[in-house]
Amino acid sequence: MHDDRSLVEARLKRVLDERVRPAVYPESVPLEVAVWHAPGEPVPVAEGLAAEPGPIEVGARWGAPWGTSWFRVTGTVPEAWAGRTVEAILDLGFDENMPGFQCEGLVYRPDGTPVKGLNPRNQWVRVGAPAEGGEQVRLHIEAASNPVILDYHPFLPTQLGDKETAGSDPQYTLARMDLAVFDETVWQLVIDLEVLGELMAELPVESARRWEILRAVDKALDAIDLQDVNGSAAHARSRLTGVLATPAAPSAHRISAVGHAHIDSAWLWPLRETVRKVARTTSNMTALLDDEPEFVFAMSQAQQWAWVRDHRPEVWARVKKAVADGRFVPAGGMWVESDTNMPGSEAMARQFVHGKRFFLDEFGIENDEAWLPDTFGFAAGLPQIIKAAGSTYLLTQKISWSQTNKFPHHTFQWEGIDGTRIFTHFPPVDTYNCSMKGSEIAHAARNFKDKGVARHSLAPTGWGDGGGGTTREMVAKAARMRDLEGSATVTWETPREFFEKAAAEYPEPPVWVGELYLELHRATLTSQARTKQGNRRSEHLLREAELWAATAAVRTGFPYPYEDLDRIWKTVLLHQFHDILPGSSIAWVHREARRTYERVAEELTGIVEAAQRALAGEGDTPLVFNAAPHARAGVPAGGAGVPAGQERTALSPRPGGGHVLDNGLLRVEVDARGLVVSAYDIEADRETVAPGRAANLLQLHPDFPNMWDAWDVDEFYRNTVTDLTDADEVVPDGDGVRIVRTFGSSRVTQLLSLAPGERRLVVDTEVDWHETEKFLKLAFPLDVHAERYASETQFGHFHRPTHTNTSWEAAKFEACNHRFVHLEEPGWGVALVNDSTYGHDVTRTVRTDGDGGTTTTVRVSLLRAPRFPDPETDQGVHRFRHALVPGAGIGDAVREGWRINLPERPLTGAGEVAPLVTCDQDAVVVTAVKLADDGSGDVVVRFHEAFGGRARATLTAGFEVTDVAVTDLLERPLADVPAPRAEDGRIALRLRPFELMTLRLRRA
């Protein structure tokens, strides 16, 4: 037989595009359209419906950036259409290639009842099936003219990312407003031909199945009368029945389709617009659930559910009914799909606490899975947090974006720093916006790495980011692929159903130990420094507020601010979303975030001060409150007292220029350039700075990644570096040394000081930053030979290599730490701690001149200046604090990391304040002391082993304890964990390395 494959495939494409798809709506009449443009921010629905609109024609421009326009469309169903299916086609000016990234709409009936969302791939509204002739149609559209930020030429700087700079030019052209007859037979023919054509293209050319489909499609095309597609569609479909009915092979890959609409809680739009995106999408999905009995939809992010509940009660009622029916499924059990690298220990725990509790309170549903398809890598401390929250599974997609190494598994056990393992799945479909294309389904089956031992994978299906979620076309395609030869099988299932099947068929999956590092988007550890500082400071203020409020409540009857703390926690958790905290959102988002963090700081500081005043009482004794988990200067952890006096640091001139700082423990030489050329540990008789090198060295790199400006830093940035060694001033300032440098359009002022009685060189850096597409680093070359170093992560630390033996190690050229990094030779180490930075790099070289020793350089990432999506990223004044701690063991690194983030608070009062809870072992770090969320008055204490070894400790309560329970993160007693006994308030503990534990102490 002659090979006519290309001829038939080209025929299929043209007939579909030019004849069959247009025939889905064979007849149409225009609707009358009027519009009212809201003058400012979005208005309540009732106000939009009541506004008096003015006339507008199809073809007219509309919609200022970030504006809201209320369209009213009216018309009459022609008498000749009686008994037929009629739909309104409402095209606001969509580009079908940009679902979720341009204008969107929500359709209402005149009484305010939401109908469904309008999006580029979902422009229809059902009017009648069957329709009545003469029926009056009246619909209202709340249309958002969100500007296109990420255009066909991506990453171009734009002022459209903030309503304050976006201007008022109309963004869209009204395209189509019609009533039309919907021919379902033709629509079904379209789906038949699309499914078979897409499947055919994925099969091997030599496959008999491919040719069988080709012949059937050819015959179906022969049956189509191109001048009467509607009259011949049924006949054409009949010629496809056989190939669509052939069942899949028994060994076919099995896909669990989960309806999905990945909506970033903020990104290329502000938070307020996400509230509306969620309302549009949930309206769409509840309508689709009514129409499609097998369809299942899952939505994560409790914050988004709360927005629907609080802002769109009419939509919420439909959502609640669908949840009760078991088909609209709460997923993930987190407040938002947060970043997991940068949130601190307690914040990461509270993501699950507040997320799971929301779904339990609203629906009585507990999530088994963490659902994080788009998060930029996963910290090694996360598995035990997932487990401690009562969950057992993790789903993500983003690791498939890694540039260098292909991850070796799709289903596996992920082991965290404490040994906890979580059953994890990466959908091999490699997208969280699956549209049921044949290419996607075939890719999932081919790509699945666990063939031969497992056969199930998951496909999150639907347009995300306000694109409307799953469409009726996707559901129809899935129905045809339920059991179709040549294809993977597709079944709609909930996440829990998928995970239960996957775990049952794969009882001994492979194990991956340590972080799930994304080899991409590394610059998100640095972009938008103020947002990151706001997060870090909010986390520590929340710790203080809970600690002192709980202590004051137990000791003095101080009213514990349950509702305020709950609300503030949710605000901070929201801003840990994976495009806010990482700094990858538009200017509007970060401008609002800065103001929000200021309000959070003011409110939390008020709670702290009120509680401390209640505890201190009246008096003139100078007290210091210590919120850190370790004693300092004689003041106990979690208590207040009079700090011990310490000698001052000596400051003297340095021969050859510069200054010497000496406190008896550490002697630091600052040369005439303002660089640290020596940091000598006097007790250990050991130099910290590598020979011939200088620390406190600011380094400037060009920073123009190939893509994703705010997200990425590409390795070639290192090829060019400018050492900022010229100083305008190097002068004494009190007990320290002040250094001023200028470069480009920017200015840096630093203060170097030695803490009295401590081996700690404090580096305070103020940068007035006005560079563009530059990367600023602060370098500390250390005389330390270490093959690995420790970075703090949630509830412990994680080791990374300092070498680049393999491509996996080389790819980690920028990594995350929390409060410290630590390098160590046996018996002696160095810590570098910080108050608000996350990104860093560590490199090693062997010295060829001199002693042949190893120089290990730690560089903290201070600032970047990408121009997309915020063209003014990080412009202005920033302040950072770092401390170099020579002679530090891992315990010192932990202690100094807390110290720099929780400064003492002075207050005069009646006398010392004893801690509410004490622990006699520094390795056991208390991360939270609070009252139980249920208002019972029980005291909740959370702690972990922080040094990486086994620990025995005694926890002592400063109040009478009648009962002790070990609980999960939601403060529910664990039935399978024996409770430790409390004798006179003393509780004996034994902890494994990095083990996390929560105790609930009932008060007498």
Q: Which residues are catalytic?
A: 374
Asked whether 632 and 625 are in contact (CB, 8 A), the reply is: no
645 Cβ contact list (under 8 Å, min separation 6): none
Buried b (16+ CB within 10 A) or exposed e, 734-746: ebbbbbebeeeeb
CA-closest candidate to residue 63, choices 127, 125, 142, 133:
142
377 Cα distance to chain centroid? 9
456 vs 428: CA distance, rounded Å: 10
732 vs 729: CA distance, rounded Å: 10
862 Cα distance to chain centroid? 21
Q: Which helix (H) or strand (E) holds 858?
A: strand 854-864
Q: Which helix (H) or strand (E) holds 259?
A: strand 254-259
253 Cβ contact list (under 8 Å, min separation 6): 444, 445, 448, 451, 455, 457, 488, 489
Can you say whether the dihedral through the CA atoms of 705, 711, 712, 717 is positive or negative?
Answer: positive
Number of CB atoms found within 10 A of residue 463's CB:
25
CA-closest candidate to residue 884, choices 793, 787, 750:
750
Dihedral through CA 349, CA 354, CA 357, CA 361, nearest 10?
180
CA-closest candidate to residue 289, choices 494, 472, 127:
472
516 vs 341: CA distance, rounded Å: 10
Asked whether 916 and 797 are in contact (CB, 8 A), the reply is: no
DSSP letters for 768-828: EE--SSEEEEEEEEE----SEEEEEETTEEEEEESS-SSHHHHT-SSEE-SSEEEEEETTE
246 torsion bin: left (phi>0), alpha (psi -120 to 50), beta (else):
beta
971 vs 454: CA distance, rounded Å: 36
Number of CB atoms found within 10 A of residue 156's CB:
14
Both tokens assigned to 340: 């997991």
Can you say whether the dihedral through the CA atoms of 642, 643, 646, 648 is positive or negative?
Answer: negative
CA–CA distance from 86 to each of 27, 28, 33 (Å)? Answer: 10, 9, 18
**Residue type present at position 979:** A
452 vs 911: CA distance, rounded Å: 70
Number of CB atoms found within 10 A of residue 144's CB:
22
587 vs 527: CA distance, rounded Å: 12
Both tokens assigned to 324: 């009760």
366 vs 349: CA distance, rounded Å: 16
Both tokens assigned to 842: 């560590």
CA-closest candidate to residue 81, choices 21, 127, 33, 139:
127
Phi first, then psi: give them for residue 737, nearest 5 degrees.
Answer: -125, 130
Asked whether 814 and 522 are in contact (CB, 8 A), the reply is: yes
337 Cβ contact list (under 8 Å, min separation 6): 265, 300, 301, 371, 372, 373, 374, 375, 577, 578
530 vs 534: CA distance, rounded Å: 6
